[in-house]
Structure 1
Amino acid sequence: MTASPTVHDDDERRLAELGYKQELKRKWSAFSNFAISFSIISILAGCFTTFGQAWNNGGPVAISWGWPLISIFILLIGFAMSELVSAYPTAGGIYWWASKMGGPVHGWFTGWLNLIGLIAVTASVDYGCATFLNLVLTNTVDGWDGTLNQVFLLFVIILVLHGLINVFGQPIIHTLQNVSVWWHVFGAAVIVLILMFVPEKHQGVSWVFTETFNNSGFADGSNSSGMFWLYVLPLGFLLTQYTITGFDACAHVSEETVGASRAAANGLWQSIAYSAVGGWILLLALLFAATDVPAINEAAGFSGAVLETSLSSGFFKAVIIISTVGQFFCGMSCVTSMSRMTFAFARDRGLPGSRVLSKVDRNGTPVNAIIFGTVAGLFLTLPALYEAPNGAPLAFYAVVSVAVIGLYLAFLIPILLRLRMGDRFQPGPWTLGRKYKVIGWIAAIEIIVVSVYFILPFSPAGVPGNADFDWKAVNYAPIAVGVVLLAVAAYWFASGRKHFTGMRSNVSE
């Protein structure tokens, strides 16, 4: 169904009121807008790649109870952001809102946090995809040993492919997003059915909803101490917090969406809600199939071990392939979102080389922004070449933490600014009304608490001063985010405040 010219005119008029001419092609439907965030959240990616984080830090309860609990908090964050994207439907999204409601300095730090998060989430998704593809090849191709170097090679190939798809596939990229939704829906359904009917035995309901593990190394493995409930278990919530993220993509492609003020707002919160329900069902199916606990523990909680110990070779490969393809779609969507945000931030002179990064080709594709983001993601993931002492992919979890911290801190700033504005805020057609206060404050507190946890060590070997301290086990997320923030602050005082004024209009009166 084609939108009427009036809708297109209204979208372009609203964009002009916000200060920009229509440069990106506006041909995304409301479903396509929803699809990109749903694809980036990707229950076929996060539920599998970070399953071990929850398994080792809390066990089944971190998943069966932790997932729905944290999902509710994330949905409240989504509601707060839906109101903002409805009022300000621009590709800049998060940093633009902060600039509008707070000023250039707020937009500057929000933009850089958002960019760091988007690059990190792109890198982590593609590395997760490489890990699963490596699992397929190890069980299929003779001579393929599945070493860390081979995984990294696959990661580079996947990252390059996603860059090429986004550069040359622009005419059909929105269609690919739609295909991704149905792959995730039907793929997840098939996996759940396989896990329900193929394994010879399953765990009981009591085990799934009450069993606790502590494989983190903290508190001497205790799963009943205060250390377990206040430190170890919250670390397991990274599974949910990482999986259900990247939903700001609805904002970043709003300049390409028809009827953006409503479509982007609805797409944002709906992508969270549907992913929360689908992801919980998928994770419960995994838990019920996790009967060989010692083997899964030996594999550091890797979800592939759950599948390998409960399924025959053929069904195991089928599930891994379904998940790998879903992760590939997810990474493709991440590059799309990241490149749009990079383009918009550069358009407002927020990045070095802004004139180059804000260019689009004749198809309306920000080619330079795509190349920049993929190369940055490659460098960010280099520590994944080193294996942690306990065999767990701590470098991968650190990249995940960078993504979570960067994205959610970027969400926090405009949410707090919205609360500060109060009745001075002029909402769009999708609004929270008076409920914005309670929703905004709950969202803000959750983000602050989560950000503190995800800069903490994941294992005792990563704690400075510990007798078993090993640099390979260090959670480098706070180092990476801290160094970048210091550099961004220095850049702001050196020259950023002179050339970044927030919104830089490129349309005449």
Structure 2
Amino acid sequence: MTKLDDDARRLAELGYSQELDRSWSGFSNFAISFSIISILAGTFTTFGQAWNNGGPIAISWGWPIISAFILIIGFCLAELVSAYPTAGGIYWWAAKLGRPVHGWFTGWLNLIGLIAVTASVDYGCATFLNITLSRFIDTWDPTLTRAFILFAVILALHALINIFSHRLISVLQNVSVWWHVLGVAVVIAILVFGPEKHQSLEFVFTGTNNNSGFSDGMFWIYILPLGFLLTQYTITGFDACAHVSEETRGAARSAARGLWQSIFYSAIGGWVLLLAFLFAATDVDAVNDPASPGFVGNIFTSALTPTLATVVFGISAIGQFFCGMSCVTSMSRMTYAFARDGAIPGWRLWSKVDRNRTPVNAIIAGCVVALLITLPALYEAPNKAPVAFYAVVSMAVIGLYLAFLIPIWLRLRMGDRFTPGPWTLGRKYKALCWIAVVEIAVVSIYFVMPFSPQGIPGHPEFTWTAVNYAPLAVGAVLLGIGLWWALSARTWFAGPRRTIDQTPEDEPEPVA
């Protein structure tokens, strides 16, 4: 029996027929998570969050420390995808390891996070493309309105690519990996050899900065942790390895391996890239420019020639375009899988695949919602920081990591009753799962907090454009799905639905 037959048989044991096209290699599976993590996206677009909230130490020390915690989370999820390689991913795991209510909340949190990731990546891509165009076209003014229009165009392009180039997607994922590897290498080389001078080791590893507006007395307990959003946001979306596992050959091993490896290699490459940023940040006043405080582009324009700065902007914009394409793929597969089990209103429409085995309706719906939740980005915050963008980023981090927490906790609770797949943590699962649970809980608290004093209700300079609306959006959704569950869904939602009949000898052993 071929490996493809083994994959289809395992999927049947989990209750599903092979509807999606299983044509992805193990490398393509790794590539989609590596592309979604995209150090050419997250490190560029959220560099300012760390610079303004902590400065160099939030980056030089914060990145490797937080990356280590995220890798532990990745190990925990890799064990689960090895046991249950389905497109539903973490939602399916939560429902099977716990009860339908666990799957219900996990699925909605995961879906919110994936849509927010898609929105934030494509808006970041639009921002950098907006700047790049202004460097080529003298009359091009990179306004917020033009950035939003570009954002809408990029979202539409990603939807069209995912709809009409379904067989090309896995190839483009592979191209994306090499673009990120070679692109990062080129950017680092430019930042090493382009500037006339560099910062000292002391500045890079001990320097601090506070552009948050909060007092320095809050630096260690509040301001610096807010800077860690850079790492926590950049290294996320790696659950994509699970969402495309039904399209991956040898998924029980290759999806697990792709998940943790995408984190590991991104952590190393991202740290080197960020150190290159810091060493090139010789004009601190320029980086702290009140018109765009902490914006990474200020480093390039102050330390490099106009031509080299434009090259860096262009490399990043293209990398972010690849990243957004991968985000739409992952988001649409999660939508398809969740709808397949009847959890989304109009589920028959969103779980439908076309003749090319592509969930077209799920792709369109996710992109439309991503556009809508980013509408506040049309309005500028008083301190010029992209607060609306960071709010969408926070929504992505909170939604995804809370969704990760639920199945990790359930696996920890299940203990030795859990039946692992070929990739397993063995006895180390207890320590690693506990670390993952605590880290996610702490992160989720910090990233719903205000980013500036002006965003705190009751402050003399309070304004809605400075509000971190992530807790409002996530809270509203949690309240909504909680009430929905209590008033209705608990009577009809039973978790994953079987779409295939099996003979008794094919039935898997019960997990719990």
1:213 corresponds in structure 2 to 209
TM-score under structure 1 normalisation? Answer: 0.98
| Deviation, structure 1 residue 138 | 1.4
How do residues 157-168 of structure 1 correspond to structure 2 at under 5 angstroms? 157-168=153-164
| CA distance in structure 1 between the partners assigned to 2:213 and 2:138 by the alignment | 36
1:464 corresponds in structure 2 to 457
The partner residue of 2:17 within 17, 21, 28 is 21
SS in 2 for 1:139: helix
| 1:272 matches 2:272 | no
Contact 1:253–1:337 (CA<8 Å) still a contact in 2? yes
1:259 corresponds in structure 2 to 250
| CA distance in structure 2 between the partners assigned to 1:486 and 1:359 by the alignment | 28
2:82 corresponds in structure 1 to 86
| Deviation, structure 1 residue 140 | 1.4
TM-score under structure 2 normalisation? Answer: 0.97
What is the root-mean-square deviation in Å for CA atoms of aligned residues?
0.6
| Deviation, structure 1 residue 163 | 0.4
| Deviation, structure 1 residue 352 | 0.5
| 1:281 matches 2:272 | yes
Contact 1:455–1:477 (CA<8 Å) still a contact in 2? yes
Contact 1:349–1:499 (CA<8 Å) still a contact in 2? no
1:51 corresponds in structure 2 to 47
SS in 1 for 2:288: helix
1:35 corresponds in structure 2 to 31
| CA distance in structure 2 between the partners assigned to 1:318 and 1:212 by the alignment | 29
| 1:484 matches 2:477 | yes
| CA distance in structure 2 between the partners assigned to 1:381 and 1:100 by the alignment | 34
| CA distance in structure 1 between the partners assigned to 2:121 and 2:293 by the alignment | 19
2:175 corresponds in structure 1 to 179
| CA distance in structure 1 between the partners assigned to 2:431 and 2:160 by the alignment | 44
| Deviation, structure 1 residue 372 | 0.6
| Deviation, structure 1 residue 464 | 1.1
| CA distance in structure 2 between the partners assigned to 1:153 and 1:23 by the alignment | 35
Superposed CA deviations along residues 427-453 of structure 1, whole A, max 9, x for unmatched, are 000000000000000000000000000
SS in 1 for 2:323: helix
The partner residue of 1:504 within 497, 506, 509 is 497
1:119 corresponds in structure 2 to 115
How do residues 413-492 of structure 1 correspond to structure 2 at under 5 angstroms? 413-492=406-485
Contact 1:24–1:364 (CA<8 Å) still a contact in 2? yes
Q: Which amino acid aligns with 2:199?
A: Q
The partner residue of 1:325 within 312, 318, 321 is 318
The partner residue of 2:329 within 319, 336, 344 is 336
| CA distance in structure 2 between the partners assigned to 1:295 and 1:139 by the alignment | 18
| CA distance in structure 1 between the partners assigned to 2:353 and 2:129 by the alignment | 33
2:381 corresponds in structure 1 to 388
Superposed CA deviations along residues 411-466 of structure 1, whole A, max 9, x for unmatched, are 00000000000000000000000000000000000000000000000000001111
| Deviation, structure 1 residue 497 | 1.9
SS in 2 for 1:427: coil
Superposed CA deviations along residues 285-313 of structure 1, whole A, max 9, x for unmatched, are 00000011111111210001111111101
SS in 2 for 1:456: coil
SS in 1 for 2:2: helix
| 1:291 matches 2:287 | no
Contact 1:344–1:358 (CA<8 Å) still a contact in 2? yes
| CA distance in structure 1 between the partners assigned to 2:493 and 2:131 by the alignment | 46
| CA distance in structure 1 between the partners assigned to 2:138 and 2:462 by the alignment | 37
Contact 1:148–1:385 (CA<8 Å) still a contact in 2? yes
| Deviation, structure 1 residue 493 | 2.3
| Deviation, structure 1 residue 19 | 0.2
Runs of 4+ in 1 over 6 A off after TM superposition: none
| CA distance in structure 1 between the partners assigned to 2:342 and 2:441 by the alignment | 29
| 1:371 matches 2:367 | no
2:227 corresponds in structure 1 to 236
| Deviation, structure 1 residue 494 | 2.9
How do residues 345-356 of structure 1 correspond to structure 2 at under 5 angstroms? 345-356=338-349
| Deviation, structure 1 residue 492 | 1.5
Aligned length: 500
Contact 1:29–1:257 (CA<8 Å) still a contact in 2? yes
SS in 2 for 1:501: coil
2:505 corresponds in structure 1 to none
| Deviation, structure 1 residue 142 | 2.6
| 1:408 matches 2:401 | yes
| Deviation, structure 1 residue 498 | 2.9
How do residues 54-133 of structure 1 correspond to structure 2 at under 5 angstroms? 54-133=50-129
The partner residue of 1:303 within 296, 309, 317 is 296
| Deviation, structure 1 residue 137 | 1.1
| CA distance in structure 1 between the partners assigned to 2:58 and 2:428 by the alignment | 30
What is the percent sequence identity of the aligned residues? Answer: 71
Segments of structure 1 that go 5 or more residues without pairing to the other structure are none
Contact 1:54–1:63 (CA<8 Å) still a contact in 2? yes
Q: Which amino acid aligns with 1:157?
A: V
| CA distance in structure 1 between the partners assigned to 2:154 and 2:387 by the alignment | 21
Segments of structure 2 that go 5 or more residues without pairing to the other structure are 503-512
SS in 2 for 1:218: coil
| CA distance in structure 1 between the partners assigned to 2:393 and 2:383 by the alignment | 18
Superposed CA deviations along residues 20-64 of structure 1, whole A, max 9, x for unmatched, are 000000010000000000000000000000000000000000000
| Deviation, structure 1 residue 6 | 1.2
| CA distance in structure 1 between the partners assigned to 2:176 and 2:492 by the alignment | 39
